[in-house]
Structure 1
């Protein structure tokens, strides 16, 4: 010590026995089961809009396979049918062949661009109003609400011990879910088979193994995803919430809580006036939690913009009803943009911009691709030919010294009438054609042939082209097949080659 004094060490006090034993470490929970969300019923503009949208989409889905469309002959009479046996895609007057699958590709590209455009304009509005998972989940929630009551009653029912009343209510819910799943499973499969025939076969247990398997698969997945996974599908399985962030900009409309007006939040007593609340620094939000209770995803929109929000607008309806009941202006929660917030904060008036670079790009791409598809479809030929030359042998030398090549010739008749065609070749002097028909209706001549094709079918023929050896001056001579309809203006051509011996042989 600086003063030179000696400090005697103090004797440590004995530690109590109870204190010497270390307290057990607090258990850390690394996993928490998903908490069930019980969306509350709500009324309002967006709820009515969702209901109307759902009704139209479901009516189209369930009724489209039952619409009849006579095409003549032995063609299927179902208006919308993806026939995998033919195979053909029938959509009213439109018929898509397998080699025209690029039309489906173009349609998917246009649909994707439409999704990008809708997201740039109003966030995940597709997810909130038109996504099939959202539509069926909303139906399942409605069935659950019908048998078990609204949110508070369903929560009490889930927490209550099992009884006959609880068993009856749960049984009704799952019976309704199962019935809707079965109808939905049939709806999906009926797009790939004649709907009345498929219904009769399923009822009488005469359906094929494939039809029964896919019916059970779609029904089971509907029951699982709409009844059990619900918001987990949107939050954890669907990739779109993470992708859509790149589609948004500062002018995109998303469901937004106006914190400048609502905060600070706090409950309001009946005896408390709004002037007294504002003197305390409290805003218009009374922290009732209705926006969270009606949310099908279970998020709190007041926490800021969130990728999981599906922009369904139900929280807007719930908050508006509370604001009106409190005598305050609505739209504390509203569809708004980041640019609008910043503009109003600076005291200026905001004008929403519909036309901006990304919307122009998406719109132009949709217009160009959609227009190209429509133009191509309007001008698509009703006749299509394919020629495949034999690879072995490359050519045959006949007894008179002439050379012969063999070809497999296919003609696709995309009309509903039988057609007769004239087949000729050009590019090789003195070439003669001989047709051996694998289909009926082939008639051979020296320099031309007449073949036929049944309605909406592909006719296959074996074609021999023979030419004098002296006219074959190269190992490979360009040759073009020409096919024309003898009664109409339909025609097509296909380039090929005629092979012979190398020069000098």
Structure 2
């Protein structure tokens, strides 16, 4: 009990704050952030990456497969269609596997490279940058937008603001129609909505998501990332000293301050200067309004905008790039980043296992579901001619997308008499319920409860045999 617990010094370091003039110009205490445009490899990659997935989002609901919408999440019919695959409520385990795989993929990527999901793939970030791009095209650069907002209302300001919000609403409406088109036939939705013939819930959904997109990307922006999104709060549980995040190197950058470009880089230490010229561009280009020089912050979305801005300044000053870069805490402290570490290997292992289980479940999935409901009013009855009869209701679900003919038979019984339909024609994605009876001579029954199975079988157009055995019980006495 004499051993002391080591104490870690958590005394906060000096936090750098931009000058009040710059803070007021570009990042007020309110919700308005005037994001400055930036060019660089990360910005270029983020734009093309975002546009690629944005194009997928817009195109997928319009794709057709076998004469119908290829991807349709029909909640009313409780049927999710993905090209040739149709998922039903009975396939809930597949959806659970998909969510688990997505979660561990997110955990793995976050443990390795921080919040790159937020910076490069999150819909909030993508639509926010779309709205900022529209602002730049209509109102001008960040400085012009600041001056425009400071001006009293005049004709120029009115038409620019009106056009901007009209474009915002148009993008939000198009986004909402596309999103709702994943849950209802999108061709009919677009036509019915604009001719005022859509149903109540379709109109309500479109208007609701239009309002959400317009509000989130147009007005809330950084508030979504810093206060509302739960991912920003629990991401720190997945970080460690070897996680790659956007970070400022204080060993290179401090002491900060302006200087002439004529001062050779080799003379900076003798003048007590670091590489940072305190231009505040890293603050001005940040979509969440933080100063990356203050260290790791949960508001940072790892978009890399400050990296491009800083590298551009370093290039103009003829300084080495990388003052702000994707790096790890271990590397900043002079150590070496460990890529293969227990946490990352664990996430990867679980991810591979869950993906294997998902693929195996999809591969072994039988496109046929059989359910048996016994007649609860009468357990058994005497037919009067020496037979004992049990009554059942067979529910056969065709989980494929093409019509099938199913044959019904009884297994594991001897000397029985089957009464009912022996063949069923069921359309794709439909369910049929049929009453059937099984009669047995009392002398053939050894016990009061005898287990047997109904066997349902079909042959697909490809020649594959699809079958299902559903156990049930024959009751007597």
Normalising by structure 2, we get a TM-score of 0.89
Q: CA deviation at 1:85?
A: 4.2
Higher RCO (CA 8 Å, separation ≥ 6 residues): 2
Pick aligned residue for 2:147 from 139, 146, 156? 156
**1:388 equivalent in alignment to 2:361:** no
Measured in 2, the distance between the counterparts of 1:232 and 1:418 equals: 51
Measured in 1, the distance between the counterparts of 2:113 and 2:440 equals: 68
Measured in 2, the distance between the counterparts of 1:270 and 1:47 equals: 26
**1:289 equivalent in alignment to 2:280:** yes
Please name the residue that 1:171 is paired with.
162
**1:201 equivalent in alignment to 2:192:** yes
Please name the residue that 2:84 is paired with.
93
Is the 2:412–2:452 contact (alpha carbons within 8 Å) kept by the matching residues of 1?
yes
Q: How does 1:51-130 map to 2 (within 5 A)?
A: 51-71=47-67, 77-130=68-121
Structure 1 residue ranges (4+ consecutive) displaced by more than 4 angstroms after TM superposition: 269-277
Q: How does 1:423-438 map to 2 (within 5 A)?
A: 423-435=408-420
Q: CA deviation at 1:243?
A: 1.1
Is the 1:251–1:353 contact (alpha carbons within 8 Å) kept by the matching residues of 2?
yes
Measured in 2, the distance between the counterparts of 1:98 and 1:332 equals: 53
- How many equivalent pairs are there? 447
Please name the residue that 2:388 is paired with.
403
Pick aligned residue for 1:490 from 453, 466, 469? 466
Is the 1:414–1:455 contact (alpha carbons within 8 Å) kept by the matching residues of 2?
yes
Deviation digits for residues 379-413 of structure 1 (CA, Å, limit 9, x no counterpart): 22233211111222222233235322221101122
Pick aligned residue for 1:234 from 225, 228, 232? 225
Which sections of structure 2, spanning at least 5 residues, go unmatched? 1-27
Is the 1:84–1:192 contact (alpha carbons within 8 Å) kept by the matching residues of 2?
yes
Is the 1:480–1:496 contact (alpha carbons within 8 Å) kept by the matching residues of 2?
yes
Q: How does 1:268-279 map to 2 (within 5 A)?
A: 268-269=259-260, 277-279=268-270
- Report the CA distance shift for 1:189/1:428 in structure 2 as closer, same or farther (over 3 A): same
Please name the residue that 1:36 is paired with.
32
Pick aligned residue for 1:469 from 411, 434, 442? 442
Deviation digits for residues 426-462 of structure 1 (CA, Å, limit 9, x no counterpart): 3443322212xxxxxx3xxxxxx33433333212101
Once the two structures are overlaid, the 10-residue window that deviates more, 370-379 or 252-261, is: 370-379
Once the two structures are overlaid, the 10-residue window that deviates more, 382-391 or 46-55, is: 382-391
Please name the residue that 2:475 is paired with.
499
Normalising by structure 1, we get a TM-score of 0.84
Is the 1:428–1:471 contact (alpha carbons within 8 Å) kept by the matching residues of 2?
no
Measured in 1, the distance between the counterparts of 2:387 and 2:435 equals: 19
Measured in 2, the distance between the counterparts of 1:463 and 1:271 equals: 95
Which sections of structure 1, spanning at least 5 residues, go unmatched? 1-31, 72-76, 345-349, 436-441, 443-448
Please name the residue that 1:134 is paired with.
125
Please name the residue that 1:255 is paired with.
246
Q: What secondary structure sits across from 2:44 in the alignment?
A: helix
- Cα RMSD of the aligned pairs, angstroms, is 2.0
Is the 1:257–1:334 contact (alpha carbons within 8 Å) kept by the matching residues of 2?
yes
Q: CA deviation at 1:414?
A: 3.2
Q: CA deviation at 1:173?
A: 1.2
In terms of Rg, which structure is larger? Answer: 1
Measured in 2, the distance between the counterparts of 1:415 and 1:245 equals: 44
Q: How does 1:312-351 map to 2 (within 5 A)?
A: 312-344=303-335, 350=336
Q: CA deviation at 1:274?
A: 5.2
Q: CA deviation at 1:376?
A: 2.0
Measured in 2, the distance between the counterparts of 1:366 and 1:159 equals: 52
Q: What secondary structure sits across from 2:259 in the alignment?
A: coil
Once the two structures are overlaid, the 10-residue window that deviates more, 425-434 or 406-415, is: 425-434
Measured in 2, the distance between the counterparts of 1:64 and 1:490 equals: 30
Q: What secondary structure sits across from 1:324 in the alignment?
A: helix
Q: What secondary structure sits across from 2:65 in the alignment?
A: coil
Measured in 1, the distance between the counterparts of 2:294 and 2:219 equals: 26
Q: CA deviation at 1:190?
A: 1.1
Pick aligned residue for 1:311 from 302, 313, 318? 302
